[in-house]
C-alpha cells in the first residue's frame, strides 16, 4: 500500500516472534530474500581446512508463514532462502573451499522434505513459487560443482525423504549411513498424491541414470530403499557403517577438495543489499522499480557504471561487492525475487537501461578477458548466468525498451534477448538531446551466459536459422542503432518517435487484456526452443505437471492427501485419468 516502507519487517519479526504472521491491519507480510549467516535459524556453516560443512538444523518454531511446525528438518521457503544465501556466500567469500558437505545436526534424520502442513495451507501461488525457488537453488548447487569447482557431497546420516532426498540428489556424491534404518525415498506419490517437486524424477533418470523400472518401484515405495540395495540401484554412491561414517565423510571431502582448482586466499564479503520501498517505488543503488498497479506493470531500470573497472584483475577482490557488475546483479536478482513473491498481480515487467555504453563496454571486456582465469571474475559472470536464467523462468510477460540514453552492451544486451519482446526507438524523441540508442554485441553474448537449454540466447533466438549467429559474431564490437538491430533480428520491432507512444501503449494494453494463466503457459513454452536438458525438463515439464497436480482434488481437495496427511484418515482420490 502507498506509504508503506517495511524493508526490515520480516527480519525483525523473525528475531522476536516464534511464528511470523502478517500484520494485524491486513497488509501482506513482505517476504525478504536478504539474509546473513548471523541471522540463520535453520543452517550452520563450519569450516574444516579445504572443505566446509553446511549443516541443516531447522528450527521447528520459525516457519516463514503460518502456524505449522518444521519438524524433522522439514523445510519451507525460509529454510531455502538461507540455503541459497549460504551457497552464494561459499562461492564468493570462501575461495579456499573446494568441497562442501551438506549434512544434518538432527539425530537419525537428514531431511524429511518440504513441510506438508505448509503445502496443505499455503495458497497455490506460494506453492508454485516455493517449488520454483527451490529448483533454482538446487540448480545453483549443481552449477557450483560444475563451474565453480566447489564440489558438493551429501552426508546422509539418517533418513532422507522427498525433498530431503532431492537435496541430496543435487550433490555430486551421496554417502548414506548404513545403520539398518536410514533410507532414501521419494514418497510423494503414495503418501501425498503429488510429485517430487524439485527435480527428483528427472535427476533419478537423467543424472543418476537409475533404470526406469527401478525408479518406478522406488517412487511408489513409501518406506524407500536402504543399504547396499540403494547403492546397487544407483540411488546413492556408497554406504558406510555408523562407526566409520564421520571419518569417511571427512576424508572424502578433503580428497575431493584437493582435486579442485579453488585458489585459496581471502574472498570478498557479500554485504547486505540496501533498498527502500516507498509506496510503489523500490530503490536500490543501481536498480529502480516503478510499479503501475492500474496497468499491472513494473518498470525496472538498470543504471550503468560511473567508474571504470580496475586496471588489473588482481585488484578486483579489493573492490569487493561494490564492483558495479556484481552489485547490479545482486540488486536485480533481489528485485526479481521480490516481484515474483510479493507482487503477484504485476503481470508485465519492462526493462530499460541508462548509462554510458563506453563504460559498460570496459567492464564487459574486463570480465570477458578474465572470467576463465580469475576466480572472482568467474563468479561474477556465473552470477549473471544464474540471474538471467531466473529471468528466463519468471512467470511474467517481459519486455525491454531500447531508447536514447540506454547502454545495452554485452551482458546487458542479453536482457534484450531474454525478454519476450524488445522494442527500439529509431533516432530520438522530440526535444531530447540524449544520444540515440545503440546495441553492442561482445564475447559474452556468444559464450558463458547460456540458458537452461544449454544454448546462448542468440543461438536460441535463431534456432534452426543456419549461419545467423556466425554472421552476428562478425559484428562484435559494432554499435548497432535501433534500425540496424531490428534488421539483424535482434529486436522485435523498431519505430520512430511519431509511432512509439501509440504502438507501445497498444502492446501493453493488449497484454493486460489477456488471461494471465494462458500467458504464463504460452511464454514458458516459447522461451526454450532447441534441445531439452535436465534443467528444461525440471522447469518446463516437471514443474508444470507438479503444479497442475497440486490443484487436483486428490491432492488439494478437502479430503485430498495434503489435507488428510497426519490425520489418520484415508484421503479420497478422484479415479479419473486426465
Tell me the pLDDT tens digit for each residue of 52-61.
999 999 999 9
pLDDT at 379 over 60: yes
Round to whole Å and give the CA distance between 257 and 151. 7
pLDDT at 414 over 70: yes
Q: What is the pLDDT of residues 163-173, one digit of tens each?
A: 999 999 999 99
Helix, coil or strand: residue 481: strand
Round to whole Å and give the CA distance between 269 and 246. 30
Q: What is the pLDDT of residues 128-140, one digit of tens each?
A: 899 999 999 999 9
Give the mean pLDDT of 190-217.
94
Round to whole Å and give the CA distance between 426 and 312. 38
What pLDDT was estimated at residue 12?
40
Do the strands 297-303 and 287-292 form a parallel or antiparallel pair, or are they unpaired?
antiparallel
What pLDDT was estimated at residue 22?
43
Question: Element (H or E) spanning 100, and its range?
Answer: strand 99-104
Look up residue 436 and give its three cell numbers: 540515440
Do the strands 225-226 and 183-185 form a parallel or antiparallel pair, or are they unpaired?
antiparallel
Give the mean pLDDT of 179-188.
95
Structure confidence at residue 489 as a pLDDT band (50, 70, 90): very high
Task: Report CA Rg, the chain.
Answer: 24
Supply φ then ψ for residue 262, to 5 degrees.
-60, 130
DSSP letter at 273 equals P
What pLDDT was estimated at residue 4?
40
Helix pair 324-342, 357-368: axis angle to 10 deg: 100
Could you give the dihedral angle defined by the CA atoms of residues 406, 316, 312 and 472, in that order, rounded to the nearest 10 degrees?
-40
pLDDT at 430 over 90: no
Look up residue 572 and give its three cell numbers: 479420497
What pLDDT was estimated at residue 460?
97
CB atoms within 10 A of CB 489: 13
Per residue in 334-366, is it b (16+ CB within 10 Å) or e — as a string? Answer: bbbbbbbbbbeebbbbbbbbebebebbbbbbbb
CA triple 543-545-549, angle to 5 deg: 115
DSSP letter at 362 equals H
Q: Are 206 and 534 contacting, i.e. CB atoms less than 8 angstroms apart?
A: yes
Helix, coil or strand: residue 153: strand
Look up residue 186 and give its three cell numbers: 521419494
Long-range own/partner contacts, residues 468-471 (CB < 8 A, 24 or more apart): none
Structure confidence at residue 67 as a pLDDT band (50, 70, 90): confident
Structure confidence at residue 2 as a pLDDT band (50, 70, 90): very low
Structure confidence at residue 28 as a pLDDT band (50, 70, 90): low
pLDDT at 302 over 90: yes
User: Which neighbouring-strand residues pair with 352?
Assistant: 301
What pLDDT was estimated at residue 463?
97
User: Which neighbouring-strand residues pair with 100?
Assistant: 52, 152
Q: What is the pLDDT of residues 308-318, one digit of tens each?
A: 999 999 999 99
Q: Write the CA distances from 110 to 140, 221, 350, integer angstroms.
A: 20, 19, 42
Q: Write the CA distances from 436 to 301, 350, 415, integer angstroms.
A: 17, 19, 19
Q: Are 507 and 421 contacting, i.e. CB atoms less than 8 angstroms apart?
A: yes
pTM of structure:
0.93
In DSSP notation, 511-531 reads HHHS-HHHHHHHHHHHS--S-
Q: Are 282 and 335 contacting, i.e. CB atoms less than 8 angstroms apart?
A: yes
Supply φ then ψ for residue 268, to 5 degrees.
-120, 145
CA triple 103-108-114, angle to 5 deg: 65
Output helix, strand, coil percentages for the chain, rounded to the nearest 5. Answer: 45, 15, 40
Q: What is the pLDDT of residues 341-369, one digit of tens each?
A: 999 999 999 999 999 999 999 999 999 99
Round to whole Å and give the CA distance between 379 and 147. 9
CB atoms within 10 A of CB 62: 19
Strands (E), 105-257: 109-111, 113-114, 151-156, 159-161, 173-178, 183-185, 225-226, 238-241
Q: What is the pLDDT of residues 204-228, one digit of tens each?
A: 999 999 999 999 999 999 999 999 9
Question: Element (H or E) spanning 528, and its range?
Answer: none
Tell me the average pLDDT of the chain: 92
Could you give the dihedral angle defined by the CA atoms of residues 543, 546, 551 and 556, in that order, rounded to the nearest 10 degrees?
-140
Do the strands 348-354 and 297-303 form a parallel or antiparallel pair, or are they unpaired?
parallel
pLDDT at 5 over 90: no
Angular region, 180: left φ>0, alpha ψ -120 to 50, beta rest = left
Structure confidence at residue 566 as a pLDDT band (50, 70, 90): confident
> What are the helix (H) ranges across 49-173?
77-93, 116-121, 124-146, 163-169
Round to whole Å and give the CA distance between 234 and 16. 45
pLDDT at 147 over 60: yes
Amino acid at each position: 500500500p502507498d506509504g508503506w516502507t517495511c524493508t526490515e519487517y520480516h527480519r525483525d519479526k523473525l528475531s522476536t516472534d516464534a511464528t511470523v504472521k502478517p500484520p494485524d491491519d491486513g497488509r501482506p507480510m513482505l517476504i525478504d530474500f536478504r539474509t546473513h549467516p548471523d541471522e540463520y535459524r535453520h543452517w550452520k556453516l563450519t569450516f574444516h581446512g579445504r572443505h566446509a560443512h553446511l549443516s541443516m538444523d531447522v528450527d521447528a518454531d520459525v516457519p516463514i508463514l503460518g502456524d505449522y511446525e518444521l519438524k524433522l528438518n522439514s523445510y519451507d521457503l525460509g529454510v531455502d532462502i538461507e540455503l541459497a544465501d549460504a551457497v552464494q556466500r561459499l562461492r564468493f567469500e570462501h575461495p579456499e573451499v573446494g568441497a562442501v558437505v551438506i549434512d544434518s545436526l538432527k539425530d537419525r534424520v537428514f531431511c524429511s522434505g518440504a513441510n506438508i502442513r505448509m503445502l496443505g495451507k499455503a495458497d497455490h501461488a506460494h506453492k508454485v513459487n516455493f517449488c520454483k525457488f527451490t529448483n533454482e537453488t538446487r540448480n545453483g548447487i549443481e552449477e557450483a560443482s560444475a563451474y565453480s569447482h566447489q564440489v558438493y557431497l551429501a552426508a546422509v546420516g539418517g533418513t532422507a525423504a522427498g525433498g530431503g532426498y532431492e537435496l541430496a540428489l543435487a550433490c555430486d556424491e551421496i554417502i548414506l549411513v548404513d545403520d539398518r534404518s536410514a533410507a532414501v525415498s521419494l514418497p510423494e506419490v503414495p503418501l501425498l498424491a503429488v510429485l517430487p517437486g524439485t527435480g527428483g524424477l528427472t535427476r533419478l533418470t537423467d543424472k543418476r541414470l537409475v533404470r526406469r523400472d527401478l525408479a518406478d518401484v522406488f517412487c511408489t515405495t513409501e518406506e524407500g530403499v536402504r543399504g547396499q540395495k540403494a547403492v546397487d540401484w544407483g540411488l546413492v554412491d556408497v554406504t558406510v557403517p555408523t562407526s566409520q561414517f564421520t571419518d569417511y565423510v571427512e576424508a572424502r571431502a578433503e580428497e575431493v577438495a584437493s582435486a579442485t582448482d579453488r585458489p585459496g586466499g581471502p574472498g570478498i564479503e557479500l554485504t547486505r543489499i540496501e533498498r527502500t520501498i516507498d509506496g510503489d517505488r523500490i530503490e536500490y543503488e543501481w536498480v529502480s522499480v516503478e510499479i503501475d498497479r492500474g496497468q499491472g506493470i513494473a518498470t525496472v531500470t538498470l543504471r550503468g557504471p560511473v567508474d571504470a573497472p580496475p586496471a588489473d584483475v588482481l585488484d578486483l577482490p579489493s573492490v569487493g561487492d561494490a564492483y558495479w557488475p556484481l552489485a547490479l546483479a545482486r540488486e536485480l536478482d533481489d528485485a526479481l525475487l521480490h516481484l515474483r513473491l510479493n507482487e503477484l498481480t504485476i503481470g508485465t515487467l519492462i526493462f530499460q537501461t541508462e548509462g554510458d555504453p563506453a563504460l559498460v563496454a570496459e567492464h564487459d571486456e574486463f570480465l570477458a578477458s578474465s572470467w576463465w582465469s580469475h576466480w572472482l571474475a568467474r563468479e561474477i559472470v556465473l552470477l549473471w548466468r544464474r540471474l538471467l536464467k531466473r529471468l528466463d523462468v519468471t512467470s511474467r510477460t517481459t519486455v525491454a525498451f531500447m531508447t536514447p540514453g540506454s547502454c545495452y552492451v554485452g551482458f546487458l544486451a542479453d536482457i534484450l534477448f531474454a525478454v519476450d519482446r524488445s522494442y527500439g526507438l529509431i533516432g530520438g524523441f522530440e526535444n531530447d538531446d540524449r544520444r540515440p540508442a545503440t546495441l553492442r554485441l561482445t564475447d559474452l553474448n556468444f559464450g558463458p551466459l547460456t540458458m537452461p537449454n544449454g544454448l546462448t540466447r542468440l543461438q536460441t533466438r535463431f534456432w534452426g536459422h543456419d549461419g545467423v549467429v556466425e554472421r552476428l559474431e562478425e559484428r562484435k564490437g559494432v554499435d548497432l542503432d535501433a534500425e540496424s538491430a531490428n534488421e539483424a533480428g535482434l529486436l522485435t520491432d523498431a519505430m520512430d518517435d511519431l509511432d512509439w507512444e501509440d504502438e507501445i501503449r497498444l502492446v501493453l494494453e493488449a497484454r493486460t487484456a489477456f488471461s494471465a494463466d494462458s500467458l504464463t503457459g504460452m511464454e514458458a513454452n516459447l522461451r526454450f526452443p532447441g534441445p531439452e536438458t535436465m534443467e528444461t525438463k525440471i522447469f518446463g515439464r516437471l514443474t508444470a505437471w507438479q503444479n497442475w497436480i497440486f490443484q487436483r482434488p486428490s491432492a488439494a481437495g478437502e479430503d485430498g492427501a495434503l489435507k488428510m496427511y497426519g490425520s489418520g484418515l484415508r484421503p479420497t482420490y478422484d479415479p479419473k485419468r486426465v
